[in-house]
Structure 1
Amino acid sequence: MATRTRRTLDIAYPNAAGIDIGSASHYVAVPADRDDEPVREFKSFTCELDNLVTWLTACNVDIVAMESTGVYWIPVYELLESRGFTVHLVNARHVKNVSGRKSDVLDCQWLQQLMSYGLLSGAFRPTDEICALRAVSRQRDMLLRYQARHVQHIQKALSQMNVQLANVISDIMGETGQKIVRAIIAGERNATTLAKLKHARIRASEEEIVKSLQGNWRSEHLFTLKQAMSLYDAYGVELMACDQQLEAMLAVLQKHAGAQDKPQRPSRGKNAPRFDLRTYLIGLCGVDLTRINGIDTATALKVISETGPDLSRFRSAKQFVAWLGLCPGTKISGGKILSSASKRTTNRAAQALRLAAAALRTSQSALGAYYRRMCARLDRPKAITATAHKLARLIYAMLTKGGEYIDQGQDYYEERYRQRVMHHLARRAEKLGFKLTPVSEAA
């Protein structure tokens, strides 16, 4: 009678430690044979963190696992990494403990046990230089959101005074809109004088603008308008400082010689950085990501600041797209597909690629034709995700293999799609005992 052997888990990392991150203190667990007190609590003060590192070094720990709790993990992570430890930032879903037994001590011990058996994998985190670039890029996005809120306040103040400027000018924060609003704040009330400030490209006539500027100039609404414009300008100054910082950081990260030989020009777009971002991105990546239809300099900056130009951490394009959360899900039970929806994620690079995919709605490129075909087959959110999936694969191929993206055009894509459809129809007809004949030959 054959004996059944029981498979056991082997220790993969005998020198592993687990840290339960908190806002005020951190609980650390090391192997039980390393110290008489294998679980200790350390406050979140810097001096206490130094003691934590000293204790881990004395216990011969070389690998540490911790959860990404808020932003409290960042000082611990950076300190441990600078001291030579291998730090794994793990997903909280992967370390869920048995229900009913939840405490800080048990959590750090559970992390240490899972890490020692090699059951945890660290999350992707780019290099320190890219992390610094990401922080400034996210700060710039936050300033843009705050500035946009004050644009809404300006529109609200104008509407309360029944100044219907937004109904005749598409963008009140454009050149014409700002001239008129600033003149109102300066004390001008004559609608005819204000209408003469319009730019030649404004389609609305002066008579329409005069009608829209006939409102009730109440003092409280004028005060609100003045304060909203002052805050808008204040955020504009901080955005210029962010652009200068981004330009300085990108200049340091230049890796490819000759990238700055091209004449520099400001990036297009109302909210785009006011320097030649495209040239700096080419110098950083070695390829021009903006050649991909739908991806502008702002989208390319968002992706590079979140992932970095080195994607060697991802073994394949499939793994990269899965990390972005742009691939179909695999929720299968009993051989039945319960759901194939992509996982919910707050990945900023994926959000930028989705916006780039939605911008291909009227593009006459091959990617535009692909997006419209996906819209015909699926609903629009799924079509956007599928197109963003394709954009992510193109970015991965360009950053890992080099080369330039060449758009074959809408006609080329439609012809290739027609050939594929005809090929599959011919094979299906052959299996059914028929043969497809073109209309011209039959006639």
Structure 2
Amino acid sequence: MEESTEEPVGLVERVCAIDIGKAGLVVCVRIPHESKPGRRVQEVREYATTTPALLGLADWLHDQRIELVAMEATSDYWKPVFYLLEAEGFECWLLNAKHVKNVPGRPKTDKLDAVWLAKVVERGMCRPSLVHPKPIRQLRDLTRYRRSLVREQSREKQRLEKTLEDAQIKLDTVISNLHGVSGRQMLQAMIDGQRDPKVLAEMAHGRMRPKIPQLRQALTGHFDDHHAFLCAAMLRRIDTLAADITGLDARIDELIAPFVQAVEKLDEITGIGIRSAQEIIAEIGVNMDAFPTAAHLVSWAKFAPIDRQSAGKNKGASTGKGNPWLAATIGESVAALARTDTFLGERYRRLVRRRGKKRAIVAVGNSMLTIIWHLLADPNARYHDLGPGYYELKINKQRRQRDLVRQLEHLTGRKVILQPPPELPTAA
């Protein structure tokens, strides 16, 4: 019999489970029986989700001497309940609903769900989800909102380009950035009523001056008052979003100040800049105690395939759905390093040839998260790039030779036999 290395799971004596809705809660408390050893009693109550009602719930749980409060991650409705009870001194667990689902075929009501959740938690049959401390949560709110505004700004710029295309204005084929000094001045002039391509082209600045002939051709179209109205509204929206993003950047820099050393360490990794480092810290925090090893962090972020084995055979499985905000930041960082002359850049290029772009991004993202974990877990750790030639140093020459021979045979259709070079005659 195989001996288990896991610690024995004890029964939680006094547990509370909450089934959360938008307007109401169903609360189940399970505690030991006062006069019958080994027996347990439970009580189910309903509460509203208003602050006075939640404070009343906290008072009742204090009276019952509750040790652990558990709840499912239902939309955003769990947040005020979790934060208030946590502030009242309770140990709170947030649970993935998929991990504590009731047995299929059983009746389903809010009361039965709360009772089932309490029984699962008291027996230690679940693991809590990661809930960051308040400073990290506030930082995460800002970084996510900033990314949302950047996406919205990009969509607004795309709408502007489509409007210009509708007006047969091909400005974006000549100017790489419509929102630079030259492009913005031309757009504003068209909105104000100027339609002459020659006059508009003369507004080019700096390196755009040699392109004046191409600009005259690109600015010849049928831009009218309708297009001017739409473009004016879009430019105002773009400017408003830019101002909001600038304000968020300042606030993020203020809140990230206690973690500036962690940001600087992550900034040393190829492909990760200051903003990306801030977003990563906002998503995973700086305390790696929640992840015992780097593999735990990679698995939590869903940058590692899920084990699927049956009848002694490993079956292919996807990585699953993880944190989309973290995945977006890591994916952008991998894309940024793809053409760099670095170890991670070379790793990406080697993988993309064999496995494709998506798998290469996941694999290099896995390596990047492993590096991040070590940098945050060890205060003395610093990033050192191994260089693009690392793989050549570690290459298995015999296997490489065999692969090249096989490729040559495949290309020529002939048998390839390797022979040592002939000995050169020695000089007299």
Same fold? TM cut 0.5: yes
Matched, 1:189 2:207: no
8 Å CA contact 1:287, 1:398 repeated in 2: no
One-letter amino acid of the structure 2 residue matched with residue 97 of structure 1: N
| Residue identity opposite 1:335 in structure 2 | G
- Counterpart mapping for 1:392-403 below 5 A: 392-401=369-378, 402-403=380-381
Equivalent-residue separation in structure 2 for 1:239 and 1:211 (angstroms)? 35
Q: CA deviation at 1:164?
A: 1.1
Determine the structure 1 residue equivalent to 2:277.
Answer: 300
- 2:388 equivalent to 1:404: no
Instruction: Kindly provide the CA deviation profile for residues 108-128 of structure 1, in whole angstroms up to 9, marking residues without a partner as x.
Output: 111111110011111112221
Contact 2:276–2:329 under 8 Å retained in 1 = yes
Q: Which residue type is aligned with residue 183 of structure 2?
A: G
Measured on the aligned residues, the alpha-carbon RMSD in Å equals 2.6
Deviations, residues 115-161 of structure 1 (Å, cap 9, x unaligned): 10011111112221111101011111111122222212211221222
Distance change >3 Å, CA 338–CA 422, structure 1 → 2: closer
SS at match of 1:49: helix
Q: Give the one of 325, 331, 342 matched to 1:348.
A: 325
Residues 200-211 of structure 1 mapped to structure 2, 5 A cutoff:
200-202=206-208, 205-211=211-217
For 1:227, the aligned partner's letter is: A
What residue number does 2:412 align with? none
Deviation of residue 287 (structure 1)?
4.9
Per-residue CA deviations over 1:48-99 (Å, capped at 9, x if unaligned) read: 1111111111111121111111111000110011111111111111111022
In the other structure, the counterpart of 1:362 is: 339
Give unmatched runs, 5+ long, in structure 1. Answer: 1-8, 255-280, 426-436
Aligned match for 1:217, one of 220, 223, 230: 223
Alignment match of 2:307 (pick from 319, 326, 330): 330
Residue of 300, 311, 316 corresponding to 1:339? 316
Range moving further from structure 2, 173-182 or 231-240: 173-182
Q: Secondary structure at 1:201's aligned position in 2?
A: helix
Instruction: Provide the C-alpha distance between the structure 2 equivalents of 1:420 and 1:128, rounded to a whole number of angstroms.
Output: 55
Instruction: Rate the CA distance shift 1:161–1:376 in 2: closer, same or farther, 3 A.
Output: closer
How far does the alpha carbon of each residue in 1:178-202 deviate from its partner, in whole angstroms, 9 at most, with x for none? 2221222233222222212223334
Q: Give the direction of change, closer, same or farther, for the CA distance of 1:154–1:386 in structure 2 (3 Å limit).
A: same
Q: Aligned to 1:243, which of 244, 249, 269?
A: 249
Structure 1 length as normaliser, TM-score?
Answer: 0.83
Give yes or no for contact 2:264–2:274 (8 Å, CA) kept in 1: no
Asked if 1:86 is matched to 2:64, the reply is: no
The equivalent residue for 1:103 is 109
Contact 1:287 1:403 in 2 (8 A): no
- Whether contact under 8 Å (2:197, 2:220) holds in the other structure is yes
Residue matched to 1:27 = 26
Q: What whole-Å deviation, never above 9, does each CA across 1:316-350 have from its counterpart, x for those lacking one?
A: 01111100101122111111222232122234223
Q: In 2 relative to 1, CA 31–199 (structure 1 residues): closer, same or farther, beyond 3 Å?
A: same
Q: 1:361 to 1:102 in 2, by over 3 A?
A: same
Q: Paired residue for 2:59?
A: 54
- Report the secondary structure of 1:172's partner residue: coil
Residue equivalent to 2:172: 166
CA shift at 1:438, angstroms? Answer: 9.4
Say whether the 8 Å CA contact 2:13–2:67 is kept in structure 1: no
Moved more, 344-353 or 34-43: 34-43
Q: 1-side partners of 2:386 and 2:421: how far apart? A: 28
Q: What does the per-residue CA deviation read over 1:343-393, in whole Å, with 9 as the maximum and x for residues that have no partner?
A: 222342233112222333212111111111112221221111011000000
Deviations 1:380-408 (CA, angstroms, capped at 9, x unpaired): 21111011000000111111123221213
In 2, the alpha carbon distance for the partners of 1:108 and 1:217 equals 63
- Counterpart amino acid of 2:28? A
CA distance 1:199–1:11, shift in 2 (3 Å): same
Shift in CA distance, 156/204, structure 1 to aligned 2, threshold 3 Å: farther
User: Is the contact between residue 177 and residue 183 of structure 2 (CA under 8 Å) also seen in structure 1?
Assistant: yes
Indicate how the Cα distance of structure 1 residues 441 and 320 shifts in structure 2: closer, same or farther if over 3 A, else same: farther
Structure 2 vs 1, CA of residues 159 and 287 (structure 1 numbering), >3 Å: closer, same or farther?
closer
Q: Secondary structure at the match of 2:369?
A: helix
* Gapped regions of structure 2 (runs ≥ 5): 1-7, 35-39, 404-417
Helix, strand or coil: the match of 2:206? coil
Distance 1:405 1:201 in 2: 39
Cα contact 2:18–2:114 (8 A) shared by 1: yes
Following superposition, which runs of at least 4 residues in structure 1 exceed 6 angstroms of deviation? 34-37, 422-425, 440-443
Give the TM-score taking structure 2 as reference length.
Answer: 0.86
For the residue of structure 1 that corresponds to 2:315, the secondary structure is strand
Letter in 1 for 2:100: V
